[in-house]
Amino acid sequence: MDVDRWRSETPGCADKVYLAGAGTALPVAATHEAMASYLAREVELGGYQAQWAAADLFAGLRADLTRLLGAESGHVALAESGTHAWWRALGALGLSRGDRVVVSDVEYLGTLLPLVQRGVQVEVLPVSPDGTVDLARAADHLAGAQAVIACHAASHVGSVLDVGSLAAIRADVAPGAWFVVDACQSAGQLPLDAARWRADVVFGTGRKWLRGPRGTGFLAVGNRVLDRTPEPLDTNTGSLTSGEPMPAAGIQRFEPFEAAWASHAGLAAAVRWLLDTGPSAVHQRIAELATGLRGRLDGLPDVEVLDRGPAPGGIVTFRHHRYAATDVAAAADAAGVVVGTSTPHPAPLDPDMTGPVVRVGAHVYNDEADLDRFAEVLADL
Ligand SMILES: Cc1ncc(COP(=O)(O)O)c(C=O)c1O
């Protein structure tokens, strides 16, 4: 563990305590450098030419993501966000009115909306006393479902789903159901294993725990999905052959041609940084920081930590019984500490989300002094 190095590689942590990693984590300097040098090549060569000249860089990014996700080679596409990756996958799943899709109570609004718009029936898995999915009662709900969506790490509360166990239940009782993993809040902070999970879809975003730039995401599809035709196709992902829409070959049918390629160049540097640093060291450090923060919060009056289960992951959420979440965030900001808030809006299935909460995400560039400083802010409120 090399916290000094991790801090020195992160320009944004020099002048403040940044604890808003669940929204957008601070990037390493190499990410910015990769984007700046890519943009310089666009200025010099022209946009298309810069993209073609950097074909190896983007192939390297897809290969690195493949490794990180535990996916199969040739099954990973780049996207503009987690949501766009999900839309593209959804367009290939053929879900329609009357189909039943099983989700957990922490499911993210953006994942749910296009399902509900399609008339799909959304069923919520039962919750156990510790607040996480009750896997012992999951089988009955999965049987006969057309799809199961595993939101690996929730957005609005520290809560991690045991995707491996849910995947095993799915394979047992609902092998025909699509198995979809939302890795938006887990990629970069938790191990991923698309192949072992036999996931049909894994989608994620670049700007959170992966420390990538805005406007980046990715999609991994399994063999059953790779052979299908996503709807709608576009000029890069399909063609008209004798008047019939035809998908492009292989994974290209899931990846748009028009993209902010400079951002993808930044994501390439971010993912490389993670692989070079060692994902397990990063995962461990994020978990340690979250545990350290929860320990500090537990001792404070009027602070109620909301995270669920034995290993809630890197997101730490709490309610302050005297101050609104936005006031807590404002007080922290005034003291040079950046934290986020979360509202019930993105979590419409969660009955415990009755109002805004403070959301904290510490990453490897944070240290114990950062956690102490935030705890002091709360103690001084
Ligand atoms: C759990 C979860 N899923 C999906 C998304 C959507 O990702 P994006 O904003 O990149 O579209 C988010 C974003 O906050 C998220 O937290």
pLDDT digits (tens, 9 = 90+) for 234-292: 999 999 999 999 999 999 999 999 999 999 999 999 999 999 999 999 999 999 999 99
Taking the C-alpha atoms of residue 362 and residue 337, their distance in angstroms, rounded to an integer, is 11
Helix, strand, or coil (residue 219)? strand
Distance between CA atoms of residues 347 and 232, nearest Å: 27
Read off the pLDDT of residues 21-55 as tens digits, 9 standing for 90 and up: 999 999 999 999 999 999 999 999 999 999 999 99
Give the total number of structural domains in the chain. Answer: 2
Alpha-carbon dihedral angle through residues 86, 92, 95, 97, given to the nearest 10 degrees = 100
Same domain for 238 and 329, yes or no, is no
pLDDT at 197 over 90: yes
Do 191 and 299 belong to one domain? no
Same-domain pairing of 255 and 321? no
Establish whether residue 82 lines the binding site of ligand 1, counting it when its CB lies within 6 angstroms of any ligand atom.
Answer: yes
Residue 155, ligand 1, Cβ within 6 A = yes
CB atoms within 10 A of CB 262: 23
Q: Are residues 310 and 364 in the same domain?
A: yes
Same domain, 178 and 73: yes
Q: Is the CB of 237 under 6 A from ligand 1?
A: no
Please name the helix (run of DSSP H) or strand (run of DSSP E) that holds residue 69, with its range, or none: helix 55-69
Q: Are residues 158 and 284 in the same domain?
A: no
Q: What percent of the chain has pLDDT over 70?
A: 100
Residue 148: which CATH number? 3.40.640.10
Distances from the Cα of 320 to the Cα of 48, 210, 339, 341, angstroms = 51, 29, 14, 12
CB of residue 204 inside a 6 A radius of ligand 1: no
Question: For strand 315-320 and strand 337-338, is the pairing parallel, antiparallel, or unpaired?
Answer: unpaired
* Structural domain for 14, as ranges: 3-28+278-379
* Domain match, 244 and 282 both: no
- Domain co-membership, 66 together with 155: yes
- Same domain for 294 and 260: no
DSSP state of 338: E
Q: Are residues 250 and 291 in the same domain?
A: no
Please choose, from the candidates 377, 71, 120, the residue with its C-alpha nearest in 3D space to the C-alpha of residue 223: 71
- Residue 109: what pLDDT? 98
Distance 22 CA to ligand 1 centre (A): 10
Q: Which of 88, 108, 111, 209 to mutate to test the pocket of ligand 1 (most atoms within 8 A of CB)?
A: 108
The pLDDT confidence band at residue 1, using thresholds 50, 70 and 90, is confident
CATH code for position 8? 3.90.1150.10
- What is residue 230's three-state secondary structure? coil
Could you give the strand order of the β-sheet that contains 147-151, starting from the edge strand earlier in sequence?
Answer: 76-79, 217-221, 201-205, 178-182, 147-151, 100-103, 121-124
